Structure 1
């Protein structure tokens, strides 16, 4: 069915409030958040009849506050501000419990809230804040609700709008059955909307460049760790001098690229008569943190050295014969540990 205002109705159609994990959390903790403090701290029996949480803009969130209500400010970390709101029926029940020792079933007389109402309902707001801190510690998914303390009440709506300056808020509305069966009241909680981490957008890559890089040979170098020598030994070094090395130094070799960036650690030995390096495991270095897809986007001035796969490492037996006899027994080239 269409009409002259159909297009206009589609343009002004209200959007549904957003819901997420933070709103399910608020609904789940509502029962323990209200029933425990009400019974233990104030002697009030109540039941949770209905809960609903959603995300609203700042203006729409403040519009949820009834005309007759007492808002209590909550002060959080880094200047964050939240709100606990009690409607007139809940404020009257709190005052009756403190003055009469019971909740009256008489209907509420319509009247504006006063500073006395705010002062007498402050105790329940403090109890809810303490329970909120306790519940937040028990649940790992409630970190956004931690760190709040009850501040002052704020009945001035203009000042309230200036205090709550976040663009969006997570709003929890709770319908309470006091007595039960004596009064129906409502409480509203407003918290700054939990920030959602944006997922990084995948970058476009050149498949041909990735394939070409996979077939390239990159230049790497194995480095033995440094050792300490007496100053007299250093002063006596000359061409042909032999520096004795401990045997375990072979198992502490570092594999680096041509810029000196550490790629991994391992052991130095021989395989089929050639020097060989066995990698113990990947090293957490900037080189390992760069995916291959990002390597394909390196600037054109990065040089990649490619060698023929037919060129083998020189065998240890090709070392000059005058060097071998003077090496310590544990570093004899023929006795280097084989790499499996």
Structure 2
């Protein structure tokens, strides 16, 4: 029993200490609440009590919901071209106008109306002074924060124009429900400021090496389709439609049994020699002269070469590799006969 009571006392003290620490700390919601109340009192001797405050983070898609509902829309100018927004509903705007014209808040219901440039000019001193106090109070807790140097910019006519002006990918939103004057007239204020981009973590050389090995393994495991091309024929569509069993098609070959290995988009990868292996049709890759020179001597002597005979000038395979779409020269009758004899074996 005594042990359980002791644990309860410890938990109660822990909660009390945490609450006291949070009360001493200056969060953005607390800073804005104090900044609005202090500014209204200093400028207009107008009591403002914040009944509720909420802080959330939204993306671009959530701006429509935050800016809708009518009221005064103000585009805020920030550092380095950053932009924020402030929305003041008609209840708070009406109390602000009344206290400057009659000296008090009457508490009468605010009629639904369109805001004007005069409304924006009347609210500008309150907005600038509130943002300055908000920034100063946050600076005491965090010297570099996301609410620095934002000031009154210009009044926006509609929500769509405000959405086009706000280009940041994410925003901090602070919503305040307030009561103004001795009659506690309800009102609302919403502050929207861009959220700073996340700072990338320092590069880890070990992690980069693992990533490079993983990427290499994935790349080398990707299937690639190669096509062995003996030659290509261009024919009108009408002739193709008239083809029937038994018709022959002339295939222009630069050399008998030589083919092109092509990847997608007719990209020539290598030259090969058509033949047989264990009774099956097979292709034998022919090394380019540059790759053949890089091989050891004993390997290069056994490796098949793709150097053209001296009677062919220039090298047809070299032209095919550099110009995939180039048409090969017409084969001689003896070449065609040798090719046909090998295919019939």
- TM normalised by structure 2 equals 0.49
User: Which protein is bigger by CA-based radius of gyration?
Assistant: 2
- TM normalised by structure 1 equals 0.50
Structure that is richer in helix per residue:
2
